Amino acid sequence: MPSMETENSNVLRAEEIKLLANEAFKAHKYSQAIDLYTQAIELHSENAVYWANRAIAHTRLEEYGSAIQDASRAIEVDPKYSKGYYRRGAAHLAMGKFKEALKDFQQVKKICPNDLDATKKLKECEKAVMKLKFEEAIAVPESEKVEPQYDGARIEGDFVTLNFVKKMMDDFRNQKFLHKRYAFQIVLQTREMLCALPSLVDINIPDGKHFTVCGDVHGQYYDLLNIFELNGLPSEDNPYLFNGDFVDRGSFSLEVILTLFAFKCMSPIYLSRGNHESKSMNKIYGFEGEVRSKLSDTFVEAFAEVFCCLPLAHVINEKVFIVHGGLFSVDGVKLSDIRAIDRFCEPPEEGLMCELLWSDPQPQPGRGPSKRGVGLSFGGDVTKRFLQENKLDLVVRSHEVKDEGYEIEHDGKLITVFSAPNYCDQMGNKGAFIRFEAPNLKPNIVTFSAVPHPDVKPMAYANNFLRMFS
């Protein structure tokens, strides 16, 4: 058994060799560095730094398996040593093992919440994992053949056409389903189009042309059809923006989202993310259960991935700001700050993205806690400052049921629009949409009542526990 003196001598000698190894590493002599770190480890194997340093030298030589082994040993020696997780995560990332890398960078973030590089790597991994899940989800149905007896809408070739959409909408009206192959084609194409957009989308309406903004639809497919009856189908000359909360609560959410996505494939509509375009909401309020029931489990991840690609806000002609929820807990937020949001994730519980999706106006000035427990309430003075600082005229948002389908607040500077009449078959409210005509963009609000739908109750696919309290 080595004496205390020998142990101390080994520790000191190991540290000297580590410094030589570091110099070799800095000189890009990675093999030499590995040899020297190995000598240091042989003298003092319970130092996590030596293992982690040898791991990064292996990574430089693209010896990722050895790097993972060394980084794992560093973590065994010191479970709170962030560089062990970081080095292992980097090796996993280099090997394309995104799920494993994600776990490592999550651990780095937990130990060092202010590590900017780890935060960046974590976001890269989250995106890669979502993409991976999406690709896994769409891989199986690609090989599915459309059965000869299938008499529903068909996409001929690579492009969604108006004839296809009309046939699909009519099939949905008659409670027929779309073949999975075509549903995947729509979802995949929509994802590709949405991913190419910024987090804040600028819309230009030429003089003499009009533009329609709709609020929450919440799976009320037959009321969506009624909007199109009243205001015309989406087209290049009749463009729409649907301002989030397309799904959940109403039991025809799949029909709603596939219809909106199909029109998106043809380009005459814009889509904003709402707070219900998220996994946590979909799991509770029905969309996840409905997708599983009408399509398959594989579609659940596919829709979740596409929802993470939805833009967060729109601006019409540099005058009208449109967002699902509302404004912010701090003054001074510029449109450029919204454009800079990395939105490709599940909504966080705080920050600009959360507030865009969850906040509500309040009648009194200033800011207050949110009645929802997420986001905040903001007064007319907050709205006024935001508009002045960004040289805008009006905020349009949705997110709240209103008796008349809309409400004008904050001295006319903020309009709430809600497009799900008789919400959940029990609120008795009207629905509304807003038509803007360029150049003056004066809001023309159209209200409408609910129309009959098949006898499927709202929340039919919702979490069983939640239905007990509905």
Render each residue's pLDDT in the chain as its tens digit; 470 residues: 556 677 788 889 999 999 999 999 999 999 999 999 999 999 999 999 999 999 999 988 888 899 999 999 999 999 999 999 999 988 888 887 888 888 888 898 889 888 888 788 888 878 777 777 766 666 655 446 788 899 999 999 889 999 999 999 999 999 999 999 999 999 999 999 999 999 999 999 999 999 999 999 999 999 999 999 999 999 999 999 999 999 999 999 999 999 999 999 998 899 999 999 999 999 999 999 999 999 988 899 899 999 999 999 999 999 999 999 999 999 999 999 999 999 999 999 999 999 999 999 999 999 999 989 999 999 999 999 999 999 999 999 999 999 999 999 999 999 999 999 999 999 999 999 999 999 999 999 999 999 999 999 999 998 765 554 44
Angle (CA) 422-238-392 rounded to 5° is 80
Backbone angles phi, psi at 446, to 5 degrees: -115, 125
- List CB contacts of 405: < 8 A, sequence separation 6 or more: 215, 417, 418, 419, 421, 429, 430, 431, 432, 445, 447, 448
- Quote the pLDDT of residue 3: 63
Residues 401 and 249: beta-carbon distance below 8 Å: no
For residue 133, the one-letter residue type is K
**Strands 406-409, 394-397: pairing kind:** unpaired
Cβ atoms of 397 and 321 within 8 Å: the answer is no
Token pair for 227: 């909007």
User: How much is the pLDDT for 157?
Assistant: 86
Residue 457: per-residue pLDDT = 92
Phi/psi of residue 307, each to 5°?
-60, -35
SS3 state of residue 416 = strand
What is 144-467's CATH number?
3.60.21.10
| d(C-alpha 399, C-alpha 276), whole Å | 10
Res 144: pLDDT: 61
Model pLDDT, residue 466? 53
Catalytic residue among 276, 314, 399, 453: 276
Of 260, 262, 218, 221, whose CA–CA distance to 241 is shortest?
A: 260
- Residue 470 has what pLDDT? 47
Q: What are the Cα distances from residue 156, in Å, to 138, 433, 441?
A: 19, 33, 39
Question: Would you call 276 a catalytic residue per the annotation?
Answer: yes
- In this predicted structure, what is the pLDDT of residue 248? 96
In angstroms, how far is the first alpha carbon of the chain from the final one? 71
Q: Any idea which architecture 4-137 has in CATH?
A: Alpha Horseshoe (1.25)
d(CA 357, CA 312): 8
Q: What is the dihedral of CA 296, 301, 303, 306, to 10 degrees?
A: -150
Cα distances from 398 to residues 17, 83, 114, 250, in angstroms, run: 64, 45, 35, 17
Count of C-beta atoms within a 10 Å radius of residue 157: 6
CA distance 232 to 212: 10
Domain ranges of the chain: 4-137, 144-467
pLDDT of residue 465: 53
DSSP letters, 65-102, are: HHHHHHHHHHHHH-TT-HHHHHHHHHHHHHTT-HHHHH
Q: At what angle do helices 116-139 and 180-195 cross, to 10 degrees?
A: 150
Rounded distance between C-alpha atoms, residue 200 and residue 173, angstroms: 33
What is the structure's pLDDT at 121?
A: 81
Place of tokens 């497919």: 221
Q: How far does CA 247 lie from the centroid of its chain?
A: 14
> Sign of dihedral through CA atoms 193, 198, 204, 209?
positive
Q: 3-class SS at 250? A: coil
Contact 10, 42 (CB under 8 A): no
Q: By three-state DSSP, how is residue 318 classified?
A: coil
Peptide bond into 454 cis (omega under 30): no
Please report the DSSP string for 1-53 in residue order.
---HHHHHHHHHHHHHHHHHHHHHHHTT-HHHHHHHHHHHHHH-TT-HHHHHH
Instruction: Please provide the size of the chain in residues.
Output: 470
Q: Is 422 helix (H, G, I), strand (E, B) or coil?
A: coil
- Are 130 and 344 spatial neighbours (Cβ–Cβ below 8 Å)? yes
CA nearest neighbour of 200 among 385, 360, 335, 345 = 335
